[in-house]
């Protein structure tokens, strides 16, 4: 029911239009427009499919997907989509959407790829990439993820040339509570070798090597990385790539793979305004899987990459599994059970909403969470959450007495004026919040009724 509560409280989240386009939103919008036109035609002809594939090809090219990847992708789509089973089916458009989804999953790697684990600890992970790609931050995020899983990682400051690189990693390590190994005056190869010995003696089961980068690939950089690889024999070489660089990211991945035989890719800044072509191209061009994606600047903003979930998000079908995983990690189990009881018995009040909102904010940016809900992401295009308005909502609720929070129906004119004065809001703000709250309660009752009857919401796309 935690997911139901998130959906139910969505109408209470203040949003306003914004021109910023997050990763894949433009592609999602265009693909949905293609499918909408197809649905409007009822039955499909081969000509209809060809027209739709042409639009899909243009959408992918505009999203900065590698043109060879687009050519192969569309050819495979056409081969499957013009078959008699599709054109003569009762719902040909849904069949085409299903095929596009399956081909996207395959393009993105098919199944989620996990990091290698050494048969005998420590597992050595070597992070490589160009300067400015987010490598140091990704190393810290990865260490935080491992620590949450009960592991004992050691961060290694192997970038001995960039000014303040060691200090940056030490500061990030302090934020996530992970020790950092550094040795002034030593070359990178010696630092990496010594760090493995330290990890073995102190019982660390992961060693994360934050190696040096350059503004561009050169022989000196590659020679140093090759010597580190030869000296410590890493179990995993993870290439960190800035998704904002578009097709350059694919070229960088190819060159690093040629030199080091990388094991996987971590895409950073997936929450940025790039067009997404790198994510759709890097797996097809290099043959190496995307293993992690950076979803925010916070230290918990690193997620395992799931091709099927990403394909669903690209097609506007949401990403419920990732949303549930975030909820399980952030929400208190006892509070969730109590919330479920209140939802079922229609006792949801402002105390519960305030607590739910605070727990939701632990899960990450709210616009990301809402975009994961099937059917809701498409309605939130060109919209982002206004954090200032969220703080205003919290101030309004905190200005209420306990009785008012539990029984909003007692809020009369004088009470509203007192709350407005105490929260810096207006009575109009309070009336709007009360109206949205009632709408949310109606949605909660609807969701609860669906769960009891065994029905499910009718999302706009088949899953």
CATH code, domain carrying 248: 3.40.50.300
Question: Per residue in 216-236, pLDDT tens?
Answer: 888 888 999 999 999 999 999
Per-residue tokens: 28? 């999602």
Kindly state whether residue 443 falls inside one of the protein's structural domains. yes
What is the longest distance spanned by two Cα atoms in the chain? 75
Asked whether the predicted pLDDT for residue 272 surpasses 50, the reply is yes
Residue 101 sits in the same domain as residue 148: no
Kindly state whether residue 460 falls inside one of the protein's structural domains. no
pLDDT band at 3 (very low <50, low <70, confident <90, very high): very low
- Average pLDDT value over all residues in the chain: 78
Kindly state whether residue 11 falls inside one of the protein's structural domains. yes
Per-residue tokens: 443? 């949605």
Candidates 443, 456, 60, 125; CA nearest to 262 is: 125
Residue 327 sits in the same domain as residue 211: no
Where in the sequence is the domain holding 131, given as residue range(s)?
A: 123-305
Kindly state whether residue 116 falls inside one of the protein's structural domains. no
Average pLDDT over residues 281-296: 85
Residue 79 sits in the same domain as residue 135: no
Q: How far apart are CA 87 and CA 49, in angstroms?
A: 9
Residue 356 sits in the same domain as residue 402: yes
Radius of gyration of the chain (CA): 25
Residue 412 sits in the same domain as residue 366: yes
Token pair 């549930």: residue: 324
Residue 103 sits in the same domain as residue 133: no
* The pLDDT value given to residue 327: 57
Side-chain-side CA neighbours of residue 206 (13 Å): 25
Asked whether the predicted pLDDT for residue 7 surpasses 80, the reply is no
Candidates 268, 172, 160, 158; CA nearest to 210 is: 158
* The pLDDT value given to residue 194: 94
Entry pTM: 0.64
Residue 142 sits in the same domain as residue 65: no
Say which DSSP state 115 is in. Answer: P
Q: 238: helix, coil or strand?
A: strand
Total domains present in the chain: 3
Q: 241: helix, coil or strand?
A: strand
* The pLDDT value given to residue 323: 54
Question: Per residue in 67-98, pLDDT tens?
Answer: 888 899 889 888 887 765 555 554 667 777 78
Q: Encode burial over 45-74: b for 16+ CB neighbours within 10 A, e otherwise.
A: eeebbebbbebbbebbeebbbbeebbeebb
Residue 270 sits in the same domain as residue 171: yes
Residue 283 sits in the same domain as residue 422: no
Kindly state whether residue 114 falls inside one of the protein's structural domains. no
* The pLDDT value given to residue 435: 87
Give whichever of 51-55, 86-90, 416-420 has the largest mean pLDDT. 416-420
CATH number at residue 69: 1.20.120.140
Asked whether the predicted pLDDT for residue 118 surpasses 60, the reply is yes
> Comparing 326 with 20, which gets the higher pLDDT?
326
* The pLDDT value given to residue 18: 34
Residue 194 sits in the same domain as residue 268: yes
Kindly state whether residue 310 falls inside one of the protein's structural domains. no
The set of long-range contacts for 35-44, using a CB threshold of 8 Å and a minimum separation of 24, is 35/93, 35/96, 35/97, 35/461, 38/92, 38/93, 38/96, 39/93, 41/93, 43/87, 43/92, 44/86, 44/87, 44/92, 44/93, 44/96
pLDDT band at 370 (very low <50, low <70, confident <90, very high): low
Kindly state whether residue 44 falls inside one of the protein's structural domains. yes
Residue 29 sits in the same domain as residue 14: no
pLDDT band at 357 (very low <50, low <70, confident <90, very high): confident
Kindly state whether residue 343 falls inside one of the protein's structural domains. yes
> Comparing 195 with 456, which gets the higher pLDDT?
195
Residue 209 sits in the same domain as residue 264: yes
């Amino acid at each position: 029911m935690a997911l139901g509560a998130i959906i139910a409280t969505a109408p209470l989240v203040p949003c306003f239009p914004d021109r910023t386009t997050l990763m894949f939103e433009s592609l999602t919008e265009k693909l949905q427009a293609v499918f909408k036109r197809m649905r409007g035609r009822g039955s499909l002809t081969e000509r209809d499919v060809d027209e739709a594939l042409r639009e899909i090809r243009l959408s992918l090219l505009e999203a900065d997907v590698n043109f060879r990847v687009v050519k192969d992708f569309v050819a495979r789509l056409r081969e499957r989509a013009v078959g008699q089973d599709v054109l003569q089916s009762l719902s040909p458009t849904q069949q085409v959407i299903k095929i596009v989804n399956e081909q996207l999953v395959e393009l993105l790697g098919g199944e989620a790829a996990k990091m290698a684990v050494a048969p005998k600890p420590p597992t050595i992970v070597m992070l490589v990439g160009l300067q400015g790609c987010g490598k140091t931050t990704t190393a810290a995020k990865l260490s935080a993820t491992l620590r949450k899983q009960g592991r004992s990682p050691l961060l290694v400051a192997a970038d001995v040339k960039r000014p303040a690189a060691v200090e940056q990693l030490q500061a990030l390590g302090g934020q996530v509570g992970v020790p950092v190994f550094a040795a002034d005056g030593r070359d990178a190869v010696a630092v990496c070798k010594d760090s493995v010995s330290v990890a073995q003696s102190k019982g660390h089961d992961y060693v994360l090597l934050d190696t040096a980068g350059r503004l561009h690939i050169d022989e000196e950089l590659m020679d140093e990385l090759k010597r580190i690889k030869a000296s410590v024999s890493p179990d995993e070489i993870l290439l960190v790539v800035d998704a904002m660089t578009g097709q350059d990211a694919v070229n960088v991945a190819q060159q690093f793979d040629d030199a080091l035989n990388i094991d996987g890719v971590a895409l950073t800044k997936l929450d940025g305004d790039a067009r997404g072509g790198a994510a759709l191209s890097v797996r097809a061009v290099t043959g190496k899987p995307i293993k992690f994606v950076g979803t925010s600047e916070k230290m918990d903003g690193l997620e395992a990459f799931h091709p099927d979930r990403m394909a669903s998000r690209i097609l506007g079908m949401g990403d419920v599994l990732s949303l549930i995983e975030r909820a399980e990690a952030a929400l208190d189990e006892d509070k969730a059970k109590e919330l479920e009881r209140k939802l079922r018995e229609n006792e949801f009040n402002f105390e519960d909403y305030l607590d739910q909102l605070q727990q939701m904010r632990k899960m990450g940016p709210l616009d990301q969470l809402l975009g994961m809900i099937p059917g809701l992401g498409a309605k939130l295009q060109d919209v982002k959450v206004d954090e200032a308005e969220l703080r205003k909502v919290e101030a309004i609720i905190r200005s209420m007495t306990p009785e008012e929070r539990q029984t909003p129906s007692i809020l009369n004119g004088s009470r509203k004026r007192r709350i407005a004065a105490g929260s810096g809001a207006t009575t109009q703000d309070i009336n709007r919040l009360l109206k949205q709250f009632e709408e949310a309660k109606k949605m909660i009752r609807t969701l609860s009724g669906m769960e009891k009857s065994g029905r499910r919401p009718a999302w706009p796309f088949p899953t």
